[in-house]
Amino acid sequence: MSSLLSSVRSTLSPEIGLDLGTANTVVYERGGGVIVSEPSVVAYNTRTDEIVAIGHAAKEMEGRAPDRIRVVRPLQRGTISDFRAAQTMVARLVDRALASRPRIAPRLVACIPGCATDIECKAVEQAVRAAGARYTTYVPQALAAAVGAGLDVMSLRAQMIVNVGGGTTEIAIIGTAGIIRMSSLQLGGDFFDHAIVQKLRTQRFIIGAQTAERLKIELGYAGRGHGERFTTINGIDQNVMAPRSREISSALVGEAMEEGVEHILRAVRAVLERTPPDVASDLIESGITLAGGGALIAGLAAEIGARTNVPTVVAPDALTCVALGAGEILGSATLLERVRPHADRVTRWYQSLRIGMRESFSP
- The DSSP annotation for 291-334 comes to ESGGGGSBTHHHHHHHHHTS-EEEPTTTTTHHHHHHHHHHT-HH
Mean of pLDDT over the chain: 82
Q: Residue 117 — pLDDT band, cuts 50, 70, 90?
A: confident
Q: Is the pLDDT of residue 266 over 70?
A: yes
Q: Is the pLDDT of residue 189 over 50?
A: yes
Give the SS3 label for residue 262.
helix
Q: What is the pLDDT of residue 347?
A: 39
The structural architecture, per CATH, of the domain 189-257 is Alpha-Beta Complex (3.90)
Q: What is the pLDDT of residue 192?
A: 95
**Angle between helix 250-273 and helix 189-202 axes, rounded to 10 deg:** 140
Q: Is the pLDDT of residue 295 over 90?
A: yes
Model confidence pLDDT, tens digit, residues 299-346:
999 999 999 999 999 999 898 899 889 888 888 888 888 877 653 443
Q: Is the pLDDT of residue 354 over 60?
A: no
Residue 256 has a CB neighbour count (10 Å cut-off) of: 24
Most confident of 108-112, 232-236, 355-359: 232-236
The residues, any chain, with a CB within 8 Å of residue 32's CB and separated by 6 or more, are 14
* Percent residues over pLDDT 90 in the chain: 36
**Angle between helix 250-273 and helix 209-219 axes, rounded to 10 deg:** 80
Model confidence pLDDT, tens digit, residues 41-77:
999 888 888 889 998 999 888 878 888 899 988 888 7
Q: Is the pLDDT of residue 187 over 50?
A: yes
Of 21-30, 157-166, 293-302, which range is least confident?
Answer: 21-30
Q: Is the pLDDT of residue 237 over 80?
A: yes
Q: Is the pLDDT of residue 169 over 50?
A: yes
Q: Is the pLDDT of residue 11 over 60?
A: no
Indicate the CATH number for domain 2-146+321-331.
Answer: 3.30.420.40
Q: Residue 288 — pLDDT band, cuts 50, 70, 90?
A: very high
Q: Is the pLDDT of residue 28 over 80?
A: yes
**Domain 152-187+271-314, CATH homologous superfamily name and number:** ATPase, nucleotide binding domain (3.30.420.40)
Contact 234, 240 (CB under 8 A): no
Amino acid identity of residue 200, one-letter, is L
Q: What is the pLDDT of residue 100?
A: 62
Contact 22, 73 (CB under 8 A): yes
- What 8-state DSSP symbol labels residue 106? P
Assess whether the region 152-187+271-314 and the region 189-257 belong to the same CATH fold: no
261 CA to centre of own chain: 17
Q: What is the pLDDT of residue 342?
A: 52
Could you tell me the pTM of the whole model? 0.82
The helix (H) or strand (E) run that includes residue 179 is strand 178-185
Domain ranges of the chain: 2-146+321-331, 152-187+271-314, 189-257
Q: Is the pLDDT of residue 351 over 90?
A: no
Contact 173, 182 (CB under 8 A): yes
Model confidence pLDDT, tens digit, residues 138-165:
888 899 999 999 998 888 899 999 999 9
Regarding predicted confidence, which is higher, 99 or 149? 149
Q: What is the pLDDT of residue 341?
A: 63
Instruction: Starting at the earlier edge strand, list the strands of the sheet with 69-72.
Output: 50-54, 42-45, 69-72
* Percent residues over pLDDT 70 in the chain: 87
Q: Residue 246 — pLDDT band, cuts 50, 70, 90?
A: very high
Model confidence pLDDT, tens digit, residues 214-230:
999 999 999 887 778 99
Q: Is the pLDDT of residue 171 over 70?
A: yes
- Specify the pairing of strand 69-72 against strand 42-45: antiparallel
